[in-house]
Amino acid sequence: MTRLTVFGAGGRAGRAITAEALRRGLHVTAVVRDPRKHAEVAHRDVTLAAGDVTDPASVESAARGADAVVHAVSPFTGPEQGFADLDPRFFVRSSDALRVGMAAAGVERLLVIGLFANLRTADGVLVMDDPALFPPEIRPFARAHTDGLDRLRETAGPDWLVLTPPARLTPDAPRTGRYRLLDESLPLTDGELSYADLAIAVVDEAQAPTRHRTRVAVVGGEPARRAEG
């Protein structure tokens, strides 16, 4: 595998995934909404492209020639933003656009960053349904994320994998090179993961897939399966 297309390449997860791919010598098509705002993504192995993950034509164009596509897009960056503008169908629309656009471009592998809110506690309760674990006011975003995951499950499409971080996904935490993939039927694991270690898991699963058409939790801790560098 040599080429990765990353939607949301200017965001926290997207930047970490792009950096991890470049570190391995891959070429990245870095997709942002406005390339003029993302000069920091420039690199000799990066093609900076304008695109929208909810638009099938945009996905087709950005994915053409790639070996895998990453969806690291979020329409909601923090609570201060509020939900007045949140499209509750955002993640359903992105699942649909990725399915259609990737098929048109002939790309099979799709890696999606999930949200811990739809993991389950040891009691089998969805995290988003427990106000002690998840602020009720952020539930609309969690619901939208979950609908996008359900859409992937319900429709025939690419060889997808949703990688869901724990509650504490920390931008400034170091790259340890260690992570574990847990079956989603296991309860939510407390703990911390750096964006850099999440990125290792994403690029590993792009280069040498081990899980297909399912969702896993990614947690830190054990020796990495195949971290390089």
Ligand X SMILES: NC(=O)c1ccc[n+]([C@@H]2O[C@H](COP(=O)([O-])OP(=O)(O)OC[C@H]3O[C@@H](n4cnc5c(N)ncnc54)[C@H](OP(=O)(O)O)[C@@H]3O)[C@@H](O)[C@H]2O)c1
Residues of this chain that interact with ligand X (CB under 6 A) are: 7-8, 10-14, 32-34, 52-54, 72-75, 77, 113, 115-116, 165, 167, 169
Smallest gap from Cβ 28 to ligand X, in A, equals 15
How many Å is the Cα radius of gyration of the chain?
16
**Which of 3, 129, 174, 215 has its CA nearest to residue 200?**
174
Closer residue to ligand X in complex, CB, 188/227: 188
Residue recorded with tokens 């811990």: 116
CB 14 within 8 A of CB 69: no
Name the residue number minimizing CB distance to ligand X. Answer: 11
Smallest gap from Cβ 223 to ligand X, in A, equals 23
Closer residue to ligand X in complex, CB, 26/119: 119
Closer residue to ligand X in complex, CB, 25/128: 128
**Which of 153, 170, 145, 158 has its CA nearest to residue 220?**
170
Smallest gap from Cβ 106 to ligand X, in A, equals 21
Identify the helix (H) or strand (E) that includes residue 67. Answer: none
CB 208 within 8 A of CB 227: no
Closer residue to ligand X in complex, CB, 12/225: 12
Alpha helices (H) along 117-186: 139-154
Q: How far apart are CA 48 and CA 151, in angstroms?
A: 29
Residue 62 has φ and ψ, to the nearest 5°, of -75, -25
Closer residue to ligand X in complex, CB, 77/185: 77
Smallest gap from Cβ 31 to ligand X, in A, equals 6
Smallest gap from Cβ 96 to ligand X, in A, equals 13
